[in-house]
Every structure is written in structure tokens, then in C-alpha cells.
Amino acid sequence: MSRMLGGIDRTATIEPWYAANQQYLMDALAHVLVHVRRCAGETMHPPTEMPMHAREDEFALHRVVDAFNLSSFEVGILLLCAGMELDGAVPELCARAQNDATRPYPTFALALAALPDAHWSALSPGAALRYWRLIEVGSGPSLVASPLRIDERVLHFLAGVQHLDEHLAGYVAQEPPSDDLLPSQAVLATAITDVLAQAAQRQGELPVVQLVGGDSHTRRSIVAAVCERLGVTPYRMPAAALPSTPHDLDALIRLWQREAVLSGAALMVDGDAPEALDATQWSAVARFAERVGGALFLCTQERRQLARRVMVSFDVEKPAAYEQHALWEQMLGPTAPLLNGHLDRVVAQFNLNAPAIRAICASVAPAAHDAPYAPQQARTLGRALWDACRTQARPRLDDLAQRIRAIATWEDLVLPDAQTATLRTIALQSRQRATVYGRWGFAERSNRGLGISVLFAGASGTGKTMAAEVLANELDLDLYKIDLSQVVSKYIGETEKNLRRVFDAAEEGGAILLFDEADALFGKRSEVKDSHDRYANIEVSYLLQRMEAYSGLAILTTNMKSALDAAFLRRIRFIVHFPFPDAAQRAAIWRRIFPPETPTQDLQPEKLAQLNVAGGNIRNIALAAAFLAAEDASPVTMRHILQAAHGEYAKIEKTLTGEEARGWL
């Protein structure tokens, strides 16, 4: 199989082969040097035919001749150049044959004069020797008089020594052996292997194999497993490393194709690092894929198309829930029974790949091995696993959104009973998704609308962000705030790309996503006036589609619900209106606003509730008053709050009326 895919079906480190290959190479060189000595005036017997060897087709020289379709004349030139490195007498022989002591090196002129079956076409840049850079032409007065030198990579290959071409070292790196694949991944690797094996048997061009979706580690493990089964060596190249200029890209294509032949290598172009390919990068990837030969794997987050080469696509999914559960049990070993329902909850919430699960178990599980069985131990281990999973899922999202430390609880939330009941229903459905969708089969009936999408509508400061904190605290999940006004781009397609990055990063841990300033994207669009309006509708639809399919909880906030299109609102599962607090609610907020540790004196919540401001402003006033009191080294009093209220009103460009502060002092 490796022979069909361009590799060499032997191991260069096996001593018998190495010795036989060396002998074959020196015999071939001696055969060529007979012609050069005759040209130098030595009396020589007519050259005989090359000696036959039992395993000739396994030797490196034969593989080069066969792979690059070299003529006998081109083989002679290549061997003559190799002789400069292998036989110390060759330089002096070249000088005598050219009757010029200043030219102790092979030239095209010497080859044309000395070697049989000479043809001028072998000298052209498009012929095999120069096109594949088997030899290098040095500087000289003319093409035929310039010194020739064998490429170092080719020389080592002829001698039976394998190593990566140093010119490729900055572009590609060898992939390590694959980890043990999970059952679904092994099935996918088998399917890919069969496709390539059948194509190789037909002796036609191999199709490009495209791996779509999934995480980078899983895709790389699958590629490594396929290459292991086919007997080829896998290498990886980031798509971003491809040159953008045609000249440099063409040079890289030739170098890699030569390397693929010499080392029996397959290449994986990773188009998902650090993010999805843009148009310029994909253009370079497509040119590379359509022109390079051999086994080629293309890893992307989206399905792509090639115009001039067959490409077979395979979807890579995260491990199924049952596979993740089985891997958790395998890695936890005897501690798994301690967890009871904790493990089910972990699997339902966190969509992790195999390396992440192994890493978490290695760091958490040992603590439970020596512990006696007890309910408390089970809770402790379950808590440790949950926290480790949250930490494992954070890095990608931390680069894309603001993580908010959720400390607010239900007691901090002041809302009408109807809104509070809706929030508790949201928490309940988030907590029981795995049971209803999974074990009770609702997901099998339809995969539409399984995500929990929520809209928080209300004026600034009415508690929308606090409510999100309360849900995160209740569900024991991370909360990430994404400012949609920063995500929306004036460039067509960029907004969708930014949203995709956020959702893809969040899928591992099912974090709560809080999309702030939804008005930046969800404007009323009763008519489409230009292409940007039309694409904005596409961006909104994409966001709603991802929210509906997201395994966690996604929340939109808006200050102007009336500005949102009714067609979009119908796709939101929960809509919670945050009203401006009335006097009774403002008094309740004032009673809870100061921490128990804060010293206060003679505060009157009913009178403070006369301030006609929202909860966010109340918090700002309370905090400013606390600083004023600390400066006075006294408890917080109504006087401090009045002074702080004047400052807050000035900030929001309102006037503090006498009625609002009546009876304070």
C-alpha cells in the first residue's frame, strides 16, 4: 500500500538492505564513470550492462528513477553528481574529462559529451532533474558550463538515509502516533482508509480527504491512524503557513511532492488553527491541494470544495455521550462507582474529547483512590470533577468573551413574582435537558429547538446581568458576556465568523452565554434596501440557529424590545421583561444593597426608595456612599447617600428633585 501512495516499502535501518543498496549505488556509479574516463582519454573496455540484483526494484535509485520518470541520460547526470560526494576521485576525473583544471565538477557540457543517449531536453527547467530539484545548477558563464550539484536530501535518500528535507522544516512537522481511538472514531478511520486504498489500487490520482468539524486533536488522531494503516508517515502543516505568492507556493508544492515520494509521507493541512480560514488563506490552500500529489488530508471547520481535484468529505463529531461515559468510567477505574449520578451530570453538561477526559482524571481521580467509600467522598469527587471540567473548557472562551464571576443569588434579585418564576423555569429546563432530551427521547423526535434561548428585555440597570449571574450560580456554570456591538462587523461574513468562534468554543463546557446589546444585530428590517441589510438578516438567522442548537443556555439582552422584529422573537423560547422597579421594589433593593459587614446608621429604605432610579443606579449610589463614609471613618448615613445620589444623578444627566430627597435629613 505504501508503494501505491508514493512511499518505499522497506526500512532503511535494516543492515542487509542498507549494504545491498550501497553496493547497487556504487555499481551504478562505476558504470557511469566508465563513460567519463573514456571522455578523459583513458583506454577503457566498452561499458557493460548494469549488473542485475535480485531486489533491484527495492533500491533507492530505482525508486527515484521510477517516481520521477528519469531517462537513462538523466540517471547518468544524477549519478555523476552523486559521485562527487561518494568517490574522492571524481572531481579530478571531471577536470581531466573537460580538459580544464579549474572545473573539477560535473557540468551539462561534460554529460552531453560523455554519457550515452544524451538529449538537450534534460537541461530544461521543466525536465525532471531541475523541476524536482534533484540537482542544483550553480553560477557559471553559461548553462552548460555551470557546476552541477546533487540536492542533499536526494543524496541521503540514494544512500539509504531518511530525514525530512531541511527546506520543509519551517512548514511541516511529523505527527506523533495516534491515541487509542474511540469506537466511532475507529469506524471513521476505517472508512477513510478504504477510500484511499481503493483509489490506490486503481492507480489513479488519490482524492483529497476533507475532515470537517470536530476538534483539532481528534482530527489529527484519525489522520495518524489512517496513515499507520496505509504504511505512510503523517506530517502536519498549518494552513496559515502556506505562502500567498504564486512563486513561493509553487516552490513549496514541488518540495513537498518530492518529499512525499522520497519518504512515503502524507500531509495534513490544518485549516483550523487558530480560527477558520479566510478567503485569502483558502485560495492558497485550494491551489496547493489541486496541484500537489500524493495522500493529502484537509482539516476544516466548514465543508469546502475544490474545482480541479476530487475531494471526499467526512464529518468528525465529538465522542458520543455513551463513549464519553465509558471513557470516564475506564479512566476513573474503581472510583467511578463512588460517583453515582454525579458522572451522568458531568457527561450531560460537558462535551469533552478523549485527551481532556484523560487529563482531568489524571489530576482529580487519584485523590479518591485511597479514600474509603462514603457519601461525602462521592460528593467531594463529583465536585472536583465538575470544577476540573469547567476549568478545562475555559481557555478558548477566555480569549473571545468576558468571564463574569457569578456571585448573585436568588435573594439578591428583586423582580415581580412572574419574572422570578420564569427564571426558575429556565434554570429547571437547563438542569434537566439531559433527562428530557436524552433518556426520555425528545431529541430523537426532532433536533430543532433543543437549545434554551432567552431574551432579557428592560432598561439599563433593571437587573438583566444580575439575573444571568443568578442562573449561572444556580446551575454552577461559567458565565461569559459577549458584547454584540463589538461582534457585529461592517464586513460581510465577518459577524457570522465571529459568532461561530464563540459558539464553537463554548460547546465543550456548555457555559452560559450572555449576548449584550442585541439591538446592534436585531433591528427591525421590514424591507431589504441593499446587500448589507440582506446579509444582516442572514447573520441574525445564524445567531438564532446556533442558539437553538446550543447545548447550553444562551441569553440575549436588549434595552429596546420594540426594536426587535416579531419574526425573530418567535424563535426565542423565553422572553423575560425586566420592569423599572416601583417604590416597593426599590425599597427592597435598598434593604439588601449593603453587605452585612458594612456599618450603617439610621438608614430609611422607604425614604431612599423615593429616588426614581433603577437597581444599577442604586448600587452605584450605595457604593459611592460607602466610600464617603469610609473617608469620614463613620457608618453610612442618609447624608452620605444624599451626597452620592447627587453625583449619580449628574452622571446620568438627571436632576435630583426635592420631592425625591424629602425627609432624608
Match 512525499 to its residue by C-alpha cell: 260
pLDDT tens digits for range 626-645: 999 999 999 999 999 999 99
Going by pLDDT thresholds of 50, 70 and 90, the confidence category of residue 264 is confident
Which residues make beta-bridge pairs with 555?
A: 454, 514
Q: Between vectors from CA 525 to CA 522 and to CA 527, what angle results, nearest 5°?
A: 165
Is 303's pLDDT higher than 90? no
- What is the DSSP annotation of 446-490? --SS-SEEEEEEE-TTSSHHHHHHHHHHHHT--EEEEEHHHH--S
pLDDT tens digits for range 137-148: 999 999 999 999
pLDDT tens digits for range 581-594: 999 999 999 999 99
pLDDT of the residue at 438: 73
Residue 398 falls within a domain, yes or no?
no
**Sheet containing 296-300: which strands, arranged edge to edge?**
173-174, 233-238, 265-270, 296-300, 208-212, 311-315
Handedness of CA 350, 354, 360, 365 (dihedral sign): positive
| Residues 613/660, Cβ–Cβ less than 8 Å | no
Residue 659 falls within a domain, yes or no?
no
> Number of C-alpha atoms within 13 angstroms, CB side, residue 144?
9
Least confident of 277-281, 444-448, 461-465, 639-643: 444-448
Going by pLDDT thresholds of 50, 70 and 90, the confidence category of residue 528 is very low
Q: What is the mean predicted confidence (pLDDT) over 91-113?
A: 95
**374 and 418 within one domain:** no
- Could you tell me the three cell numbers for 550? 446550543
**371 and 304 within one domain:** no
Is 246 exposed, middle or buried (CB count within 10 Å of its CB: 0-12, 13-18, 19+)?
A: exposed
Match 472536583 to its residue by C-alpha cell: 384
**507 and 462 within one domain:** yes
Give the CATH number for residue 628.
1.10.8.60
Residue 64 falls within a domain, yes or no?
yes
Q: Which domain holds residue 469?
A: 410-578
Residue 79 falls within a domain, yes or no?
yes
pLDDT tens digits for range 181-233: 889 999 999 999 999 999 988 877 899 999 998 788 889 999 999 999 999 99
pLDDT of the residue at 318: 80
Q: What is the mean predicted confidence (pLDDT) over 423-439?
A: 86
Is 111's pLDDT higher than 70? yes
Least confident of 22-31, 82-91, 438-447: 438-447
User: Among residues 131, 163, 195, which one ends one of the domains?
Assistant: 163
Q: Which long-range contacts (CB under 8 A, 24 or more apart) does 36-44 make?
A: 36/80, 36/93, 36/94, 36/97, 36/110, 36/114, 36/115, 37/93, 37/97, 38/114, 39/97, 39/110, 39/113, 39/114, 40/93, 40/96, 40/97, 41/96
DSSP state of 517: -
76/91 Cα distance (integer angstroms): 16
Residue 401 falls within a domain, yes or no?
no
Least confident of 86-95, 224-233, 485-494, 568-577: 485-494
pLDDT of the residue at 472: 95
3-state DSSP percent of the chain in helix, strand and coil, to 5: 55, 10, 35
Q: What is the mean predicted confidence (pLDDT) over 129-143?
A: 94
Classify strands 233-238 and 135-137 as parallel, antiparallel or unpaired. unpaired
The percentage of the chain sitting over the pLDDT mark of 90, rounded to a whole number, equals 49
The pLDDT mean for the chain works out to 85
Q: 179 or 47, which is more confident?
A: 179
Is 572 exposed, middle or buried (CB count within 10 Å of its CB: 0-12, 13-18, 19+)?
A: middle
pLDDT of the residue at 525: 47
Q: What is the mean predicted confidence (pLDDT) over 270-284?
A: 72
Q: What is the mean predicted confidence (pLDDT) over 374-382?
A: 70
User: Among residues 578, 609, 639, which one ends one of the domains?
Assistant: 578
Residue 397 falls within a domain, yes or no?
no
pLDDT of the residue at 234: 94
pLDDT of the residue at 47: 54
pLDDT of the residue at 431: 87
Least confident of 234-248, 492-506, 609-623: 492-506
pLDDT of the residue at 446: 62
Is 415's pLDDT higher than 50? yes
Is 90's pLDDT higher than 70? yes
Backbone angles phi, psi at 575, to 5 degrees: -125, 120
What total of structural domains would you count in the chain? 5
For helices 60-68 and 15-39, give the axis angle rounded to 10 degrees: 70
The percentage of the chain sitting over the pLDDT mark of 70, rounded to a whole number, equals 88
Q: What is the mean predicted confidence (pLDDT) over 292-300?
A: 91
Give the CATH number for residue 444.
3.40.50.300
Q: 177 or 131, which is more confident?
A: 131
Collapsing DSSP to helix, strand or coil, 294 comes out as: coil
Q: 549 or 563, which is more confident?
A: 549
Q: What is the mean predicted confidence (pLDDT) over 164-173?
A: 89
**372 and 236 within one domain:** no
Backbone angles phi, psi at 533, to 5 degrees: -60, -40
Closest CA to 312 of 294, 291, 298, 301: 298
Going by pLDDT thresholds of 50, 70 and 90, the confidence category of residue 53 is low
**523 and 554 within one domain:** yes
Going by pLDDT thresholds of 50, 70 and 90, the confidence category of residue 432 is confident
Least confident of 2-6, 72-76, 166-170, 513-517: 2-6
- What is the DSSP annotation of 371-437? SPP-HHHHHHHHHHHHHHHHHHTHHHHHTTSEEE-----GGG----HHHHHHHHHHHHHHHTHIIII
Peptide bond into 599 cis (omega under 30): no
**273 and 369 within one domain:** no
- Scored b (16 or more CB within 10 A) or e, 95-122 reads bbbbeeeebbbbbbbbbbebbeebeeeb
pLDDT of the residue at 374: 56
**309 and 360 within one domain:** no
Is 7's pLDDT higher than 70? no
**525 and 380 within one domain:** no
**372 and 311 within one domain:** no
Residue 665 falls within a domain, yes or no?
no
pLDDT of the residue at 261: 87
The H helix count followed by the E strand count for the chain is: 29, 14
Q: Find the distance separating the first CA and the last CA of the chain, reported in whole Å.
A: 92
Going by pLDDT thresholds of 50, 70 and 90, the confidence category of residue 531 is very low
CB count within 10 Å of CB 647 equals 14
Instruction: State the pTM of this model.
Output: 0.75
Residue 402 falls within a domain, yes or no?
no
**119 and 177 within one domain:** no
User: Among residues 293, 315, 337, which one ends one of the domains?
Assistant: 315
pLDDT of the residue at 283: 87
pLDDT of the residue at 4: 45
**152 and 193 within one domain:** no
Amino acid at site 65:
V
pLDDT tens digits for range 314-369: 999 888 888 888 998 888 887 777 777 778 888 888 888 888 888 888 887 655 44
pLDDT of the residue at 277: 66
Going by pLDDT thresholds of 50, 70 and 90, the confidence category of residue 275 is low
Is 530's pLDDT higher than 70? no
**328 and 310 within one domain:** no
71/68 Cα distance (integer angstroms): 9
- Could you tell me the three cell numbers for 212? 470537517
